[in-house]
């Protein structure tokens, strides 16, 4: 089980490093319904990752893609396709990066965060965590890795739980910081938001590039 956790750890960190959701939850912490909406967002984030991971893990177990002889050709092909998708994402993100002197463009829906309800915050988080292309690719890769690890009993679910916890840390930290420190955390949270907004495209391009090549390498190894 330790080996499986080691394999999914980089993928979990890749999901955790998601600038737009972190900026979104920080903006919620400055809204009128800060505590309720931010907690709903955190719950939605966890649910989105857990739901996708659970579905893929169940499908992987039923298809028996985890064998003692190694990953199946089908799983390797999926990894290769996901890797190519991430490389395309890296190219798009790099082209979208702001030039010197330009202000980074954030999604238009962020302007309306102050009017969000808890339900809308939860739904947005589910979309950003489980449906976002980068996160979806990494969650799929992690769940397939767990399926192929040859684990038994509750072990696959424990590894998935570890993945979900690590993948949720960067959203949980701002929320928990605000819950504990309240308005005293405003300066620190503002600093995080400003840096992430300015460097979002570059951070995402690097993540796409690194994990794209990782998945392509694993896909090629599985097919050869």
pLDDT digits (tens, 9 = 90+) for 36-60: 999 999 999 999 999 999 998 888 7
Q: What is the pLDDT of residue 69?
A: 47
Q: In this structure, are residues 86 and 137 in contact, taking their beta carbons and an 8 Å threshold?
A: yes
Closest CA to 143 of 78, 199, 198: 78
Q: What is the pLDDT of residue 89?
A: 83
Helix (H, G, I), strand (E, B) or coil at 67: strand
Q: In this structure, are residues 142 and 58 in contact, taking their beta carbons and an 8 Å threshold?
A: no
Closest CA to 45 of 140, 122, 160, 98: 122
The reported pTM is: 0.80
* Beta-bridge partner residues of 71: 66
Work out the mean pLDDT of the chain and round it to a whole number: 85
Q: Which domain holds residue 190?
A: 2-223
Low-confidence ranges of the chain (pLDDT < 50): 67-69
**73-84 pLDDT, tens digit each:** 777 788 888 888
Q: In this structure, are residues 222 and 75 in contact, taking their beta carbons and an 8 Å threshold?
A: yes
Question: Phi/psi at 66 (nearest 5 deg)?
Answer: -95, 105
Count of domains observed in the chain: 1
């Amino acid at each position: 089980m330790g080996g499986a956790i080691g394999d999914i750890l980089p993928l979990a960190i890749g999901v955790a490093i998601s600038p737009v959701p972190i900026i979104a939850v920080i903006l919620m912490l400055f809204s009128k319904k800060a505590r309720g909406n931010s907690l709903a967002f955190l719950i939605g984030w966890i649910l989105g990752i857990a739901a996708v991971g659970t579905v893929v893990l169940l499908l992987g177990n039923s298809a028996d893609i985890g064998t003692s002889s190694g990953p199946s050709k089908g799983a390797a092909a999926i990894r290769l396709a996901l890797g190519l998708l991430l490389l395309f994402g890296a190219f798009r993100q790099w082209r979208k990066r702001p030039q010197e002197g330009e202000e980074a463009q954030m999604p238009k829906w962020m302007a309306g965060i102050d009017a969000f309800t808890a339900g809308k915050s939860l739904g947005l988080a589910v979309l950003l965590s489980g449906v976002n292309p980068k996160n979806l690719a990494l969650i799929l890769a992690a769940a397939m890795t767990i399926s192929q690890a040859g684990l038994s009993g509750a072990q696959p679910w424990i590894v998935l739980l570890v993945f979900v916890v690590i993948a949720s840390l960067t959203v949980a930290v701002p929320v928990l910081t605000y819950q504990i420190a309240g308005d005293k955390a405003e300066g620190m949270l503002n600093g995080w938001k400003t840096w992430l907004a300015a460097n979002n495209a570059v951070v995402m391009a690097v993540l796409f590039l690194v994990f794209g090549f990782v998945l392509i390498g694993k896909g090629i190894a599985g097919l050869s």
